[in-house]
Structure 1
């Protein structure tokens, strides 16, 4: 009897140490979703890189719109090779020329328009990157929330398992239960301790991911997530489709790329039209010979039109077609994602109601009845542990559906371009 009591005390001591370790982490300042999102938007390397690319793209617009650099040339013309003949002969002279090329009207504006649309596309892409990072923070946050909630459930189940083990030992001491019943109760307790350690390791991995996406040091403490209220989500599919087509940054980016491709197609058709180069020259003479000046104009001859400009037009037209198909493909993919995630939201709501209003209270009532009987010396341990496991499974499934619903809403917000808040904005 003393040996069994010692085993109980040792087991409870080990459990207390492990639960205290969890309590130390949970004692940190609570992890706030809004703060994490704000930090990610300010420090995430992917967002910062996207911002830098956008700034670079904006600098291409004035480059595309500017004139070609003017040319300045200087030279000397000498009569014969015997000596420097400047001032002795009429055609011995120093020559200076300046030239400027003017693209055919419309080319510069088309180049600028194409570059501007490309920079606008990158601007929409940058917004899409921000939304995806916000989505990633939300997904990790709700995974962390589920991990801590699972720890709570495991600890509650472990406390009941300890009571069951104590009752089994008491019954074994009086001869009303066999050793197998005691070992079954102890095995359940140690199995739960193993699950607790596994869940703690999973929480560590999630916290590491959150620190990475928010730009924090890898070992920065996060604390336990604050449990938010379920996000209101009255939106229907028709409304979400409209928001996606109107506000989605990914569709906006594809649309701007299509506009840029059309501008480049128009530009390609104008490439055969000649640019004009004007040249002004001045010749300086000495020895009584009068100085000279000159004006000239030059244009390129598109004699290789079939090898240069014509294939360029075909290439630009193919680019327009590709951009159009990419836009349609992106629209189809995003609308499919919206429908899929909306179905996930509604399914999670139905399952949560089933667990909350039916399975969990019924199973808890059944467990309480069976536990009271077992503690009173009636029944066997196996049905009791079965009911204990069923209650844990249903409660864990409820919180799993809670987090899956929130993550599905976050994915819809990212697709529809309304995901900058701490909770879903769609339908509000």
Structure 2
């Protein structure tokens, strides 16, 4: 969405009647040409002034922007419609159904039989040793085994429930990254439109100077060439914008072709604050679904060790039955109690205890390693965010103003014949290029904040020594092109942010 910036300062060209080799008619043509160049520069200078306020009027870290209604609606729709979240919730319900199963008694056994004397006929009621039998038996685990099995299943369900939190965080991060990418593409389109307008006016000026004999034909050809290149870049950005819109619509359960208007700009987001290291680390350790899952697995492993020790104790089996004999013979009955004999404990039950102990130790070490990684990722993001904050300050407090000053100085040099027309246009184009890099810096900072909110385990990509590389510092995660996630339910990594589209080279 285009944002018009008005220049409050009207720049007027100066006329030097003493300039050598000039005539009155030449001064009129030259004065008109210079006025056009200055008119072309003025909107770019005003555009640069938009983010070049002094530190006293703009803080190094912008305050938290107001909630974006479009983004809020997308997040609500995504959490309501995403099948990945419903899938995770169904898996938790399935895990909870395993809890009562784990503590249930084994099914009883019912036996029906007959005992007969001889093979010459049915002797029930005639022979004392002939009868029908109805037997029932029930296995009874050693006391304490059922409780431990229930606790193991409960802790397993608790570990599974962490996947719901991970899925929710990953969906939110995925939507936020997609929305940020859409804002960035649309703001780049605004920059491209400004550059295209500049080249159109420049082509008109170059034609006037060429027709009056003041300029070279190469200036006109250069302007026409850049216009065609800009049309190519504009088509690519429009295609990328459509792709971003459809991606967001898919994430929120909307029709893919539904329009998605936005009012927020990347420059409005500023550089977020993640707090100090201690607070950010504590927040990550408390909210990390992976760490919560791992801690539940550690507790489960401890209970599995206790259960393995209890499994060495024998189980019991009780049975009872009646045997009607018919005739004048009274019925018989019997009751039995059986017990397992762990005579192979050395190669079975004891090995299970050793295995469970080793698994518990491995799970504990895995939780420790995961906590270390979380602490590292938080500090990586804080370090990267500090660098981006300083980079954004350089853009606001110096670089953008210097770009405008360079363009103005080059224009002055061109006026006295010490610079070429191409140099003027190249200097003016530098304002757009620096502004785009500034937007990328702000977007990278927002990706870091998204990764922190997602509690992403993805590492922060190296800045590479410059903030001008597209996607040089993804938040990291998702998705990716992060998505933590903690892998994202949609296949991305948490906190991995997709690399930004290629920069408008030549701008």
Considering the TM-score relative to the shorter chain, is it more than 0.5?
yes
SS at match of 2:361: helix
2:89 to 51, 59, 63: 51
Give the Cα–Cα distance (whole angstroms) in 1 for the partners of residues 120 and 411 of structure 2. 122
Instruction: Supply the RMSD in Å over aligned alpha carbons.
Output: 2.2
User: Where does 1:28-427 land on structure 2 (aligned, <5 Å)?
Assistant: 32-224=70-262, 226-227=264-265, 229-230=269-270, 232-233=272-273, 235-368=275-408, 370=410, 379-415=419-455
Give the Cα–Cα distance (whole angstroms) in 2 for the partners of residues 304 and 217 of structure 1. 64
Change (3 A) 1:37 1:370: same
Give the Cα–Cα distance (whole angstroms) in 2 for the partners of residues 330 and 407 of structure 1. 22
Alpha-carbon shift at residue 116 of structure 1 (Å): 0.5
Contact 2:134 2:322 survives alignment (8 Å): yes
Give the Cα–Cα distance (whole angstroms) in 2 for the partners of residues 240 and 199 of structure 1. 36
Change (3 A) 1:325 1:213: farther
Give the Cα–Cα distance (whole angstroms) in 1 for the partners of residues 454 and 328 of structure 2. 81
**Aligned match of 1:27:** none
Give the Cα–Cα distance (whole angstroms) in 2 for the partners of residues 311 and 392 of structure 1. 70
Alpha-carbon shift at residue 393 of structure 1 (Å): 1.5
Higher relative contact order (CA 8 A, sep 6+): 1
State which drifts further: 116-125 or 216-225.
Answer: 216-225
Contact 1:281 1:293 survives alignment (8 Å): yes
SS at match of 1:278: strand
Q: 5+ residue gaps in structure 1?
A: 1-29, 418-428
Q: 5+ residue gaps in structure 2?
A: 1-67, 458-507
Deviations, residues 41-75 of structure 1 (Å, cap 9, x unaligned): 11222212111111111111111111111111111
The answer to which structure has the higher helix fraction is 1
Give the Cα–Cα distance (whole angstroms) in 2 for the partners of residues 89 and 225 of structure 1. 98
SS at match of 1:294: strand
Change (3 A) 1:372 1:47: farther
Give the Cα–Cα distance (whole angstroms) in 2 for the partners of residues 308 and 59 of structure 1. 29
Contact 1:58 1:119 survives alignment (8 Å): yes
Alpha-carbon shift at residue 370 of structure 1 (Å): 4.4
Give the Cα–Cα distance (whole angstroms) in 1 for the partners of residues 263 and 415 of structure 2. 36
Contact 2:249 2:256 survives alignment (8 Å): yes
Give the Cα–Cα distance (whole angstroms) in 2 for the partners of residues 376 and 220 of structure 1. 54
Contact 1:31 1:222 survives alignment (8 Å): no
Contact 2:271 2:389 survives alignment (8 Å): no
User: Where does 1:1-40 land on structure 2 (aligned, <5 Å)?
Assistant: 32-40=70-78
SS at match of 1:99: strand
Alpha-carbon shift at residue 374 of structure 1 (Å): 6.2
